[in-house]
């Protein structure tokens, strides 16, 4: 890999993190499925980044983490699931620009993780174009980019820098009374993320991926709450109504949390979380969710 591409990849990852505003981390373990329902059990409930807007706290998972999950499942690179970078010039309203900044940000993270150099350049350009149009790019300085590049191999440092990027963008958008733009960027990234996972589930039936889909039951509700204050703004009503219909489907997903006392090792100074979360979703319901998110995504990118 050349130095030029190494730097490009680092910047692409950072821009995708910035575009998506938030980052999360989690660790899932799979459980066997039966013929009717798919059940997956995890040792530690997925930890999402918390976002505060208008005094309310929302938990939104990161599309970047989803891209990691898809790649780790063994799925090969699939360009067909991505938005087309050249469409960026067709997005004329702030609504479309913000939603697709989130979508392109998810795409950028995806292509970067798969080491797709040329595609990364195209998506990076699209993200920067929309970021410049919305004024978001000015929230970040070159020092943050340089620190990101220097710490690319240190996951803890990267997570810390991503947190800084989130806080910087959050302050910028709040300071400029653009909470609606922030919400749309998050929604776009989440929509693309769910589109990735539902398409992957059709091809692999991977238990962790299906589990991740089921976990979005809480997220879609959070997004509706996040967007509802702007219902009367142009274009918001259609997106919110579609998410409400998607929420009706997710309400049929069964999520059970079982508390098990954590194991404490005083000598090693460690605590092991033993509680479990079980997600149960029927194949029929999974198909309905897949169809609905494809419709929402199509309206967003066209």
At 147 the pLDDT is: 73
Break the chain into its structural domains and give their ranges: 3-23+60-251+283-301
Q: Could you count the other beta carbons within 10 Å of the beta carbon of residue 168?
A: 17
Q: What does the pLDDT look like over 184-226, one tens digit per residue?
A: 988 998 999 999 999 999 998 888 899 889 989 989 998 999 8
- Look at residue 30 and tell me whether its pLDDT is greater than 50: no
Residue 138's pLDDT is what? 63
Q: Are strands 37-42 and 276-282 parallel, antiparallel or unpaired?
A: antiparallel
To 10 degrees, the CA torsion angle through 122, 96, 130, 188?
Answer: -70
Does the pLDDT at position 22 exceed 90?
A: no
| Sequence-separated (6 or more) residues with CB below 8 Å from residue 80 | none
Map tokens 């190494």 to a residue.
6
Element (H, E) at 27: none
């Amino acid at each position: 890999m050349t130095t030029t591409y190494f730097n490009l990849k680092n910047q692409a990852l950072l821009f995708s993190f910035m575009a998506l505003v938030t980052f999360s981390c989690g660790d899932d373990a799979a459980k066997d499925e039966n013929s009717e329902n798919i059940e997956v059990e995890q040792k530690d409930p997925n930890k999402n980044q918390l976002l505060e807007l208008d005094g309310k706290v929302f938990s939104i998972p990161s599309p970047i983490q989803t891209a990691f999950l898809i790649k780790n499942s063994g799925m090969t690179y699939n360009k067909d699931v991505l938005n087309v970078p050249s469409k960026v010039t067709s997005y004329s309203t702030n609504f479309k620009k913000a939603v697709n900044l989130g979508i392109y940000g998810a795409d950028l993270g995806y292509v970067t993780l798969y080491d797709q150099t040329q595609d990364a350049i195209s998506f990076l350009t699209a993200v920067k174009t929309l970021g410049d149009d919305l004024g978001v790019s000015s929230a970040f300085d070159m020092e943050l980019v340089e620190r990101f590049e220097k710490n690319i191999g240190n996951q803890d440092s990267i997570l810390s820098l991503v947190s800084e990027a989130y806080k910087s963008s959050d302050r910028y958008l709040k300071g400029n009374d653009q909470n609606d733009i922030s919400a749309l960027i998050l929604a776009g990234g989440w929509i693309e993320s769910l589109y990735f996972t539902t398409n992957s589930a059709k091809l692999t039936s991977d238990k962790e991926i299906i589990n991740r889909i089921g976990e979005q039951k809480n997220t879609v509700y959070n997004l509706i709450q996040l967007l509802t204050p702007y219902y009367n703004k142009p274009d918001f009503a259609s997106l919110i109504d579609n998410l409400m219909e998607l929420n009706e489907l997710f309400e049929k997903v069964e999520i059970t949390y079982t508390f098990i006392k954590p194991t404490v090792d005083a000598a090693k100074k460690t605590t092991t979380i033993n509680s479990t979360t079980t997600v149960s979703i029927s194949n029929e319901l999974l198909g309905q969710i897949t169809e609905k998110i494809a419709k929402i995504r199509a309206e967003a990118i066209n």
